[in-house]
Amino acid sequence: EIVLTQSPGTLSLSPGERATLSCRASQSLSSSYYLAWYQHKPGQAPRLLIYGASDRAAGIPDRFSGSGSGTDFTLTIDRLEPDDFAVYFCQQYGDSPLTFGGGTKVEI
Amino acid sequence: QLQVQESGPGLVKPSEPLSLTCTVSGDSITSGSKYWGWIRQPPGKGLEWIGNMYYSGATYYNPSIKSRVTMSADTSKNQISLKLISVTAADTAVYYCARSPTSKYYFDYWGRGILVIVSS
């Protein structure tokens, strides 16, 4: 199965700064762009941010952007807002079984 | 607005079956090309995909758990169910139900999850 490794484990930033999160696959996704990103806060349902590596989900502000293909993917959050501090995880859906990254915590 | 809610026992004894229900509101589980999935997260660990299904009965399971899992749909109640047999402490996790908007299995709506503890 494809292992997704996210880095860093924790990102300490201030509101207004840019967050750059990495998701690396153990092998190239057979469907190069089948990578999604989610935001997860404690006690809440995970929220889809990005699918297809770079397509924003409905209602997601353009401060969130995704890029990459193959094995290396990035989620960028511009101008961090207080509500953005959460755990972010990636998921590949090009190969079975679907797999998830371990998550990056973005903290103040 | 679509809402997804998991329900079921929070405590299951080892070797007994774990049964959870996912109730969907705001849309029909039969609408469009929607698939429904279960994902779990053991305490302190990452997310693990359990399986996806189409309301008509087609199912796709993670090979690591395939021998123990069954997913089914009750269209009259707009519900998706998960049954996991022969559970052990390793099955202790928060279980999430989620929707895949297409046959490409990313998930656009999730429930808040339900913690299931396997313990005697």
What pLDDT is stored for residue B6 in this prediction?
Answer: 98
CB contact under 8 A, A46 and B63: no
When CB atoms are compared, the residue of A47, A93, A97 closest to B62 is A97
Q: Is the CA virtual torsion B24, A58, A88, B35 positive or negative?
A: positive
Nearest C-alpha in B relative to A57: B108
CB contact under 8 A, B110 and A47: yes
What pLDDT is stored for residue B18 in this prediction?
Answer: 97
In angstroms, the CA A88 to CA A48 distance is 10
Parts of chain A with a pLDDT under 70 = none
pLDDT over 80 (residue B17)? yes
The model's pLDDT over B53-104, given as tens digits with 9 standing for 90+, comes to: 998 889 999 999 999 999 999 999 999 999 999 999 999 999 999 999 988 7
In angstroms, the CA B85 to CA A11 distance is 39
* Of B81, B115, B111, the residue nearest B10 (C-alpha): B115
B84 close to B18: Cβ distance less than 8 angstroms: yes
What pLDDT is stored for residue B53 in this prediction?
Answer: 94
pLDDT > 90 in chain B, percent: 91
Mean pLDDT, residues B47-55 taken together: 95
Closest Cα of chain B to A81: distance in Å? 22
What pLDDT is stored for residue B33 in this prediction?
Answer: 85
When scoring B1, B47, B52, B115 by the number of chain A Cβ atoms within 10 A, the one with the most, hence best to mutate, is B47
B8 close to B114: Cβ distance less than 8 angstroms: yes
B69 close to B51: Cβ distance less than 8 angstroms: yes
What pLDDT is stored for residue A17 in this prediction?
Answer: 96
What pLDDT is stored for residue B32 in this prediction?
Answer: 83
Q: Which residues of B touch A45 (CB under 8 A)?
A: 4, 96, 109-113
CB contact under 8 A, A89 and B47: yes
Average pLDDT, chain B: 95
Which positions ≥6 away from B102 have C-beta within 8 Å?
B33, B34, B35
What pLDDT is stored for residue B31 in this prediction?
Answer: 85
The model's pLDDT over A23-34, given as tens digits with 9 standing for 90+, comes to: 999 999 988 899
When scoring A98, A99, A100, A104 by the number of chain B Cβ atoms within 10 A, the one with the most, hence best to mutate, is A98
